[in-house]
Amino acid sequence: MKKMKLEQKILNSKIAISKNFLYFMIAPLVIILVGIILLSTVGLNLGTDFTGYSTLKVYVNNEPEITDTAVGNYDLNDTDDYNTVCDKIFNALSDTEVKVTSYVVSSMNIISDDFVVANGQAIELKYQHNTTNLEEIEIVDLTVRESIIQEFAYDNFEDAVSSADYVAPQANFGWAIAIVASIVFALIVAAVYLTFRYNPSASLVMLMQVALDIFLTIALLAICRITINYSMGIILLATFVFTLFNLIYFYMSAKENITSEKHGQLNIAQLSDITAKEILFKKVLIYLLVLVGVILFIAVAVAGVRSVALGLLVSLVVTFYTSTFVLPTLWTTLYKAKAKKTHKTK
């Protein structure tokens, strides 16, 4: 007996999606509830685009001009030395309220009464504040510098640690308003098209599905504490695109099944379930291709791009789950309501 194909196994599965709708909705409702609580309390994990950041350099390589061994002697090209320097900086900042976002190998020129350095090896530290108050930021920057000087025993060589430079936030939530406005406009256009081209039920399903996916994505971003920067706006757009793809794919397949004779004995709920199963295999293949690309970004990309990739991963999980286990029931319910209304009119 030949091994049954995966597509056929999916079609023959006993799972009744519409019948078990309430069970499938438990996870989304819990996620949204937890997300609302987090957004109301701690908020999103905003990145440096929204909070600003400070940078300073720590000189770590004892050049020939310096004879006093009080200044450190680390080779940042050596992994062990690099990790040692980063650990010392981490220890120095453990009692401060800042979040280190990057350690970058850099160079540093120093001209002081104690020593002179030209292009000396240094580590550039970038850290994020939890406030936008300039007076508080100035105090924190001074505290950070003093802590690093003490950790590296640079009390007699304070010029080995540069002053902190503060960079003000480069973004505001105007981008989010623009994206939401674009999505709303796109929804209106798509809803009008579906209303005239097919039926109002399709428009209502689309609006409900997009709203659910957007809310779930934002809630998971808050729960997973994924850093939100200016570029993260692409996640909302990606969620909308994934959702729209799933809606169109499902609707066209369901419409074809309604007019098909092979499913003539099935009721609306059964037709909806069989449609979801029929498109599941191909949808899995498409999602896997996108997932491979996202994972590659997470593995090799820089921190900023990696955050976007993590957000895309959240969007993929959300849209795949809801299009498989929630959309069929939404479509079934609204189709029944339409059919009932049409019957009464007759």
* Domain limits, the chain: 6-45+171-345, 53-167
Assigned token pair, 46: 């905003």
- What phi and psi, each to the nearest 5 degrees, are found at residue 113? -70, -25
DSSP string computed for 68-123: -TTS----TTSHHHHHHHHHHHHHHTTTSS-EEEEEEEEEEEEE-SS-EEEEEEEE
Contact 77, 259 (CB under 8 A): no
Contact 145, 164 (CB under 8 A): yes
pLDDT value for 65? 47
pLDDT value for 36? 92
What are the tens digits of pLDDT across the range 313-340? 999 999 999 999 999 988 887 765 554 4
Q: How confident is the model at residue 224 (pLDDT cuts 50, 70, 90)?
A: very high
Comparing 51-55, 115-119, 320-324, the range with the smallest average pLDDT is: 115-119
The amino acid at residue 225 is R
Assigned token pair, 70: 């009080």
User: Angle between the 26-41 and 200-224 helix axes, to the nearest 10 degrees?
Assistant: 60
Comparing 109-123, 137-151, 274-288, the range with the smallest average pLDDT is: 109-123
Mean pLDDT of all residues in 110-115: 75
**Domain boundaries 53-167, CATH class:** alpha beta
> CA-CA distance, 309 to 97, in Å (whole number)?
27
pLDDT value for 147? 93
pLDDT of residue 232 exceeding 90, the answer is: no
Q: Pick 196 or 204 by higher pLDDT.
A: 204
pLDDT value for 123? 92
What are the tens digits of pLDDT across the range 152-184? 888 878 888 999 999 888 755 555 556 666 666
Residue 317 to residues 70, 222, 228, 282, 299: CA-CA distances in angstroms?
53, 15, 18, 16, 18
pLDDT of residue 1 exceeding 60, the answer is: no
pLDDT value for 277? 87
Contact 277, 11 (CB under 8 A): yes
> CA-CA distance, 234 to 223, in Å (whole number)?
19
Assigned token pair, 67: 């004879």
Nearest alpha-carbon partner for 29 in 248, 325, 328: 325
Q: How confident is the model at residue 304 (pLDDT cuts 50, 70, 90)?
A: low
pLDDT value for 346? 45
pLDDT of residue 229 exceeding 90, the answer is: no
Q: Pick 65 or 248 by higher pLDDT.
A: 248
Q: How many CB atoms lie within 10 A of CB 162?
A: 19
Contact 268, 332 (CB under 8 A): yes
> CA-CA distance, 307 to 128, in Å (whole number)?
16
The amino acid at residue 219 is A
What are the tens digits of pLDDT across the range 177-190? 566 666 666 766 76
Average pLDDT taken over every residue of the chain: 81
Highest mean pLDDT among 72-81, 264-273, 301-310, 329-338: 72-81
Q: Pick 205 or 36 by higher pLDDT.
A: 36
Q: Give the CATH number of domain 6-45+171-345; options: 2.120.10.30, 1.20.1640.10, 3.40.50.720, 3.40.50.150.
A: 1.20.1640.10
> CA-CA distance, 200 to 339, in Å (whole number)?
12
pLDDT value for 213? 92
pLDDT value for 199? 63
Assigned token pair, 64: 């020939």
> CA-CA distance, 110 to 76, in Å (whole number)?
18
